[in-house]
Chain A
Amino acid sequence: MKKNLMKTVSKIALVLIPAITLSMTATAHDPSLHVKKAKKADCSKMDHSKMDMKDPVAIAMMKKCMKQAKKSKDMMDHSKMDKQMDHSKMKKVDKKNMNKDDHNNH
């Protein structure tokens, strides 16, 4: 009985181990590598003290980050927002529930 069980287990292992190994190699690389998304410049890591401002790379980085900052500032034009935002139509915030939520986070 034990011998039969051992034989069956070893047969299953012989089939399963190569099958799992092969399927692992087929799915080994990250599918996200195939996705190309347009990302914004991450300017938070720029250390101005270490940058040589005569270097074209440093100048180009500064230009890119300044353009990006200006663009996001333009998008947040509060003078235009006031005209379009009708506060009377907005849902009122339930302060009691908000406070509860705040405490739940602790």
Chain B
Amino acid sequence: MKMIKLILLLAVLGVGTTAAVMYSGVVNVAADEPHSDFVYWILEETRKNSIKKAAANIKVPDLTDPELLLSGGVDYEFMCASCHLKPGQRESDMSLGLYPAPPNLTVPDNNDDIQVERNNFWVIKHGIKASGMPAWGKTHDDQRIWAMVAFIKRLPTLTPDQYQVLTAVE
């Protein structure tokens, strides 16, 4: 009986504390005020592991077809480059203003290639909550998303001139 009372008391305390934090307005949601290291670590680990688990069984198609680079390049330029940058660019209004900062996709990702491609596909298709990353799968089919993944794979190797040609509208 004592145990039940203690659990009930702890539950009421937990709910009360949460409500107090929520309704007092003490939490700063400004994007120019970073999280503490601890909160940032919790959110980052949660995000990484969630994407890894959700993308684990995605089958990666052949991404070497040059046509994929042409389709993916145009989409990348119009949908991604303002946040994730392009060759020769170090920052943009969006890359500086968003929090958490969007990853710079012009620098190579040294993780396992297949897992990176799976993750990229999943993130482009489903987006990430409260991060500024939209779910492009609502308006783009899988073929177009894989084309973007193929383009992102080659992006770190592209020069600004190559990027210009591949992303130009025909």
Chain A residues within 8 Å of B, Cβ to Cβ:
29, 33-34, 36, 38-43, 45-46, 56-57, 59-61, 63-65, 67-68, 71
Contact = CB atoms under 8 A, between A and B. Distances in A.
Interface in B140-170: 154, 157-158, 161-162, 164-166, 168-170
Given A39-B169, A68-B170, A63 B164 contact: no
Given A29-B93, A57-B158, A64-B70, A41 B164 contact: yes
Interface residues of B, number: 21
A77 to B, nearest CB: 18
Contacts of B154: 56-57
Nearest to B82: A36
Contacts, number: 60
B65 interface: yes
A16 to B, nearest CB: 27
Interface of B: 64-67, 69-70, 73, 78, 92-93, 154, 157-158, 161-162, 164-166, 168-170
A57 B166 contact: yes
Contacts of B92: 33
